[in-house]
A and B are shown apart, each in its own frame.
Chain A
Amino acid sequence: TQLLEQSPQFLSIQEGENLTVYCNSSSVFSSLQWYRQEPGEGPVLLVTVVTGGEVKKLKRLTFQFGDARKDSSLHITAAQPGDTGLYLCAGAVAGGTSYGKLTFGQGTILTVHP
């Protein structure tokens, strides 16, 4: 069973601060995704990383996939109140009937105060 551990579970910061969320596993994933979920809604995909060491940027968000494809990080620069939400990482395993199936981390609840 592949497990993804996210840290921290809760993050409360002031507008303008930087933050990093980590997603770690002992398993290798073929790809890793980050989702953001707002209250009363389902998660929405932010990014998919596929190659070990890959770095992707989405405005103020920077995503990195570990070289060994076992871990990932999400860094937000100059956080804004609109970044508030639940951030979930999810790993995919290649091959067999499991392709398409994702294992989700527990999530990080981010609150950005004005």
Chain B
Amino acid sequence: DARVTQTPRDKVTEMGQEVTMRCQPILGHNTVFWYRQTMMQGLELLAYFRNRAPLDDSGMPKDRFSAEMPDATLATLKIQPSEPRDSAVYFCASGLTYTDRGQSNEQFFGPGTRLTVL
């Protein structure tokens, strides 16, 4: 049963601390997405990668957020320094998309990381 995994599931930290969230996409998926979900803003796309290359990170505050894919089995989202307004649930999703056969846009979501910044 292939699933996207995320660690940690919950993180409580103090303002100013560095936070790193990790995601293992489904094996064979070529696209990885990072989202943030809050009651006020809903589900917002922060960044996404295809074949490990960053395609769009326009949804991310550049001064404090960074997203990387060191290899095909790991995606990371880092916040440094963290602020209380970063408190949210962060989701990673993966999917298989390719152009030669049209789009396949189903995204498989992980369980999320609930981040609380005090």
User: Within B87-118, which residues are at the interface with A (CB < 8 Å)?
Assistant: 91, 93, 95, 97, 99, 103-112
User: Contact partner of B48 among A101, A105, A106, A107, CB < 8 A?
Assistant: A101
Contact of A107 with B56 in the complex, beta carbons under 8 Å: no
Question: Residue B105 contacts which of A42, A48, A88, A97 (CB distance < 8 angstroms)?
Answer: A48
Nearest CB of B to A1, in Å: 10
How many A-B residue contacts, CB cutoff 8 Å? Answer: 62
B56 lies within 8 A of A106 (CB):
no
Contact of A100 with B43 in the complex, beta carbons under 8 Å? no
Is A40 on the interface with B (CB-CB < 8 A)?
Answer: yes
List chain A positions with a Cβ less than 8 A from chain B. Answer: 30-31, 33, 40-45, 48, 88, 92, 94, 97-107
Name B's A-contacting residues (CB within 8 A): 4, 31, 33, 42-43, 45, 48, 50, 55-56, 91, 93, 95, 97, 99, 103-112
